Every structure is written in structure tokens, then in C-alpha cells.
Amino acid sequence: MDKKLIEQIIKEAKDTEANLVVADRRDTFTVEKDDVEKIEVENGHLKATMQDGKATVYVELDNVYKLVVERDKAKKTGGRTGFGTSLS
């Protein structure tokens, strides 16, 4: 997935104080807005550092095939906006 697109999605998640759902070739996980200290793109990786400092998640940008901004469902129905690419 394109680095600029990933940075745009991260910015949207931060600006709207939403969770970010990340899917790569192996797994899908949620970076919850209340638990993450910092999320950024560096050296070909999406890096999420948790607030407790006990966990840092690295996902290679080439392995990311879907990012979803998951907004609070109480505020808005249809809470997910997804961005993805197809793997050929």
C-alpha cells in the first residue's frame, strides 16, 4: 500500500479520534485510540507504540492490504471507512 495513503489514513484516525483497524497478510488487529501512544510510518513500516510502553507493533507497508478507520458507533452509524488495495 502507498506510504502517502497510509499517512493520510493515520491522520484521519488521529483527527477523528478513531480506532485504526490494520489488516496484513497474516493477521488483522485494532490500534485503539485510547491505548496507542504514537502511530507513524517509518523505514517501510507502520509502527504503533502502545501507551504502557510494553508493546510496539511493526507492519511492513508492502504487507498492509487494508486499513479501516473505525469511528465510535454511538456518534455515527456505518462506523467504518475502509481503504484497501487488491493483491495480484
Q: Each residue of 43-88: pLDDT tens digit?
A: 899 999 998 878 888 899 999 989 999 987 655 455 555 655 545 4
Confidence (pTM): 0.72
Domain count, the chain: 1
- Residue 58: in which H helix or E strand, if any? strand 56-60
State the DSSP code for 5.
H
Domain range enclosing 7: 3-84
Residue 16 sits in a domain whose CATH number is 2.30.30
